[in-house]
Amino acid sequence: MSDRLPATCFAVVLALCAPLAGQIAELRARADSLLVEWQLAKQFADLQDSLRLARERGGRDTIRVGALVFLVNRSPLPLREAAATAWPQIERFYGPAAQAFAQRPFLIQAVDPDTNEDVPPGWAIKILWNTEVAPLARALITIADLGPLDPALRDWLGGVVVPRFDSGPGHAEVYIQLVTAPSQAAQRCYRGDRAACRDALSLSDMTDPATRWYGPDERRALAAMEFDSPFAGARRREQAAHACEQGSDSICLELLRALPPGRLPPPLDYQARLTLLETAVRVGGAGTFQRFLATPAGPMGSRLAAAARVSEDSLIERWRNDVLAARPTPVPLPVLGAWVALGWIVVFGTCGLRSSRWRVS
Amino acid sequence: MARQLRWWIVTSVGACLVIAIAYLPPRPMPLLGQRFFRVFQTFEPPTPYRLRVQELARRYRITSFELRMREYGEAMRPELERRRALELPGPTVYFADPGSLSDSARSLVRTMLGTAWSQLGLRTSKISVGVVVDVVFDRPPGGESPGHMPAANAFLLPDSTNRATCLAYVPIIYWGRPGVLTQAHPAPSRELTELLRNGLGTCGYFAAFGAPGHDIGRWLESRHYEFALDPWGLVVPPESTRAGSLLDEDKPWFWSFVYRYQPGAVECMAGHADACRRTALARGNGDLVPVVSAERQWSKPPSLAGADRYFADLVADIRPERFSRFWNSELPVDTALAMAMRMPVGEWTRRWQATIVPPIRLGPAAPFSATPLATLLGVAAVVLVMRTATRRQVR
C-alpha cells in the first residue's frame, strides 16, 4: 500500500494538472478493461458453443471409411455404403492429403423425412435418412472440401474444392462461358491465346483486372450494369449514366477500379477454375494436391503447374483442349417432331370445338 | 344417370384418391413439400452469450476510437494552438499514417480540405477543427475482432474536457484497389472533394455555430447528431438521397425499404405532419458519449429518410444566421426549431420529407386507372361464361 501511495499521488496531481492526459489514461484503462471483459465474454460464449456442439455430438455413432470420420445419429441412413463409394474418388483426387480428413470429422444429423417438425438446430449437416446411396455419395464428395487448408486456393477458387473427375458437364459449362462471356480475355482464350487464358483465370497477379479482362465496350456495359444500383452511390451512378456510357473509357475504368476487391465479375467463374484444378490433378496424379499445398505462396498458375509437374502453358493448353472437347451438342429438332406437335394442336383444338352440349335436365 | 356423367364422377374420385395418397398419412409431410438435402450448415441465430460479446465489442470500439482520437488530438495540439493564436482559418490536418501517402498527395488533401472549409463559409472559429485522414488499404480483420476504426466519417465532439476542439476522422478506403491518392501525380477528383467536404460534417456545425444550446445539445447527443452529419452548402439532388436511402419508387424494393423505417417515419413519408413532428423532435436513446459516427447499420435505418441532411437542408432554407440563432438557443428544442423555421416543425419536416421521398399513400390503394380496367375484365369474363353456358344448355 505504502509503495502505491506516491504513484497514486503522482497520478492525481498529473490528472489535475493535465486533464487531457488524465482522460487519455482513463480511456486507456477503460478500453483495456473492456477488452478483458470482451475476451472473457468471448471465451464464455465459445465454451457455450462447444458445449452445445458436444451435446450434439453425444450419443452418436462413429463411422470410419478410409480417412473419413462421420459422427452420425442412429438412423437407416446408408452412410457407410455411400462413404465407401465416395472415398476412392476423394482419395484419388487429394492423394495423401486426404488423410487430413481423419482430423476433420463430419457431424451428420439424419433427419426424419416423415415429419413436419422443423429441422433441429445445430451445426450438423442435415440429411434425410431415406436418401439413397448414390445421391448421398455425391453429397459426401461435395462436402469433402480441403480448400480451408490453403486459403489462397479458396480465395482464388471462390468456392469449395469438389474432388470430382466426372466434369464433362462442368467443361461444357465452361465452353459456353468461353464463347459467350463479354470479355476480350475469354474470347482470345477461346481462340488459343494462352496469355489471355491466364488472365481470364486470374492465374497471375492481377493488379488491374478491369484492363486485363475487358475491352472498352465491355467496360462500358459492365460499368452501366454494376452502377445501376442504389448501393453504388449517387455520384458514381451519375458518372456511369453519363460520362461512361457516352464513351469516356477513362471514367469507366475509374468506376470499375473503384469497385471493392472481388466485386468485378471475372469472365470465367468458379466452375472454370475448378475444372483447371481438376485438370492439374488429372495430369499430375494422386500426389498433386499434396505437392500443391507444399508449394510456396505465389501466383496460382505457377503453383498449379508446379504441383502438376508440367509447365504452366501446357497445363493451360490441356485445360483448354478439355473444354473445347466438351462442346455441347446442339439440340436437334427433328422434322417429325414438328409435325407431331402440330398434330396435337389440331387434336386439342378439334376436341375443344366439337365437345358435346350439356344436358341440364 | 347418364353413363358419361358416371365416368366423370369416377375420374374425379380417382383424382381425389391420388391427391389423398400424396398428401395424407402415413406421410404427414406432403411428398411434394419434403425438404431437399441440407448438406450445408443452416443459419443459427446468435446465442445471448454471443450477443453480449458483440455488445462489448461495440462498446470497446467506441472507447478505443475516442482514445485514438484523443491521442491524435494531443499530437495535433501544438498546431491547433498555433492556428488559434494566429487566427488562421482552416482545419488542422493530421495523417494517421503519414508514410502511406506521398508528399504531393498529402499536400493535395490539405489544399482540398482548406477549399472545403472556405466553401462552407467558415473562417476562424472558437472551436478549432482537427481532421485525421486515414488512408485504409487493408480490410478490417474479420470475425469478432473488436479493434478497428470506423469505416465511415466519425467525430469526437467538444466535451467538458476539451470544449474548444472538434476532431473529425475521415477514412479514405481503398482496400487494396488503386485510388487517386496513390497515383504518382494525384489530381483532385470530384469524389475526393465530396468525401473530404463531408468529412468536416458535424465538426463543421461546431466550427460555424459554436456549441449548441443546452437542451438542443442534449437532444442532438441523444440522437447521435444524426441530423448534423452532412455539412450544408452541398447541392445534392433529391433523387440521389432517395436512391441512397433505397427509396426510389421506381425500384421493386421500394416498399420493403419503406417499411424498414419506424412507423413514425413511414407516417411522415405519407405526409402526416404530426408524425413528422413527433419523429423529428423525439429524443433518442443513444449512449451519451462525445463520439458520433456516420457508419450505418444495415438493419437500422435512420429516424427519418435522409436524416443525415436534415440540418444541411435547414441551413440552406433559413440561411446560416437564423440557423445559428436556433443552434445556440437556450429555448426548448421544439420552440427554438419552430422559431427558426417560422412554421410548425411538423409542417416544415413534412415538406422537407416530400422533397426526398414523394408522399406515399398508406393503406390499400388500387390505382384509379387500373380499377375500371379490372372491373371491365371481370364483367367481361362473367358475361362470357354466362353466354357460353346458356348456349350450351339443351332444354
Nearest to B176 among A114, A261, A360 (CB): A261
Within this chain, do residues B160 and B245 fall inside the same structural domain, yes or no?
no
Compute the nearest-CA separation of B265 from chain A (Å).
20
Is B111 at the interface with chain A, CB within 8 A? Answer: no
Distance of CA B115 to the CA centre of its chain: 27
- Regarding whether B207 and B58 lie in a shared domain, the answer is yes
List, in order, residues 6 or more apart from B76 with CB less than 8 Å away.
B92, B94, B130, B167
User: B172, B188, B211: which is the final residue of a domain?
Assistant: B211
Q: Which of B211, B228, B262 is the last residue of a domain?
A: B211
B320 falls within a domain:
yes
What residues have CB less than 8 Å from A207, skipping those under 6 apart? B178
Same structural domain, B231 and B184: no
Distance (Å) from the alpha carbon of B55 to chain A's nearest alpha carbon: 9
Give dist(CA A202, CA A212) in Å, integer.
Answer: 9
Check CB contact of B53 with chain A, cutoff 8 Å. yes
Same domain, B106 and B140: yes
Q: Return the C-alpha cell found at B131.
A: 481532421
pLDDT tens string A196-230 = 999 999 998 777 888 889 998 888 888 888 777 65
The CA distances from residue B224 to A50, B177, B284, B290, in Å, are 38, 32, 8, 9
Cβ separation of A142 and B39 shorter than 8 Å?
yes
Tell me, yes or no, whether B61 lies in a domain: yes
**Which of B167, B186, B211 marks a domain boundary?**
B211
Give the other-Cβ count within 10 Å of A205's Cβ.
9
B379 lies in some domain: no
Partners of A361 on chain B (C-beta within 8 Å) are 395
Q: Is residue B216 domain-shared with residue B205, that is, in the same domain?
A: no
- For residues B217 and B349, state if they share a domain: yes
Give the count of domains, chain B: 3
Of A41, A42, A127, the CB nearest to B38: A127
Q: Is B335 left (phi over 0), alpha (psi -120 to 50) or beta?
A: alpha
- Its sign, for the CA torsion B308, B314, B316, B317, is positive
Interface confidence, given as ipTM, is 0.71
Same domain, B204 and B228: no
* B207, B222: one domain: no
The pLDDT confidence band at residue B173, using thresholds 50, 70 and 90, is: confident
Whether residue B295 sits in one domain with residue B191: no
Measure A207 CA to nearest chain B CA, in Å. Answer: 8
**Which residues on neighbouring strands pair with residue B394, listed in sequence order?**
A359
Phi, psi of A173, deg, nearest 5: -65, -40
| CA–CA separation, A253 and A113 (whole Å) | 53
A134 — alpha (psi -120 to 50), left (phi > 0) or beta? alpha
Q: Is A41 an 8 Å CB contact of chain B?
A: yes
In a domain, B40, yes or no: no
In the block, residue with C-alpha cell 478483458 = A36
Give contacts of B29 with chain A, Cβ < 8 Å. Answer: 113-116
For residue B36, CA distances in Å to A62, A77, B33, B61, B334 come to 25, 15, 9, 42, 57
CA–CA gap between residue A339 and residue B49 (Å, rounded)? 68
Q: Please indicate, yes or no, whether residues B81 and B188 belong to a single structural domain of this protein.
A: yes
Q: Is residue B186 part of a domain?
A: yes
Instruction: Give the whole-angstrom CA distance, residue B62 versus residue B66.
Output: 6
Whether B47 maps to a domain, the answer reads: no
Do B260 and B204 have their domain in common?
Answer: no
Q: In chain A, positions 165-194, which contact chain B (CB-CB < 8 Å)?
A: none
Q: Would you give per-residue pLDDT tens digits along chain A (361 residues)?
A: 444 444 444 444 444 445 566 788 888 999 999 999 999 998 888 888 877 777 766 678 889 999 999 988 888 899 999 999 999 999 999 999 999 999 888 888 888 777 665 666 666 788 888 889 999 999 999 999 998 889 899 889 988 999 988 668 889 999 999 999 999 999 999 999 999 999 999 998 777 888 889 998 888 888 888 777 655 555 566 666 677 777 788 888 888 887 777 778 899 989 999 999 999 999 999 899 999 999 888 899 999 999 999 999 999 999 999 999 999 887 788 888 889 999 999 998 887 777 666 665 5
Would you call A23 and B161 a contact, using CB atoms and an 8 Å cutoff? yes
Interfacial B residues in 202-261 facing A (CB < 8 Å): 236-237, 239-241, 243-244, 246, 248, 251
Judge if B59 and B180 occupy the same domain: yes
Q: Would you call A35 exposed, middle or buried from its count of C-beta atoms within 10 A (0-12, 13-18, 19+)?
A: middle
Residues in chain A with CB shorter than 8 Å from the CB of B27 are: 114
Distance, in Å, from the CA atom of A196 to the CA atom of A202, rounded to the nearest integer, reads 10
Could you tell me the sign of the dihedral formed by the alpha carbons of B36, B38, B40, B43, in that order? positive
Residue B231: what are its φ and ψ, rounded to 5°?
A: -75, 160
**For residue B39, is it within any domain?**
no
Query: Rounded to two decimals, what is the model's pTM?
Result: 0.63
Omega into B26 within 30° of 0, i.e. cis? yes
Q: Is residue B393 part of a domain?
A: no
Tell me if B41 and A135 make a contact (CB, 8 A cut-off).
no
Residue of A nearest to B179 (CA): A258
Say which of B26, B177, B189 has its CB closest to residue A261: B177
* Res A15: pLDDT: 44
- Nearest chain A residue to B246, by CA: A230
Strand partners of residue A127: A110
Its domain, for residue B149, covers 54-211
B3: Cβ–Cβ under 8 A, 6 or more apart, which residues? none
Nearest to A151 by CA among A303, A281, A305: A303
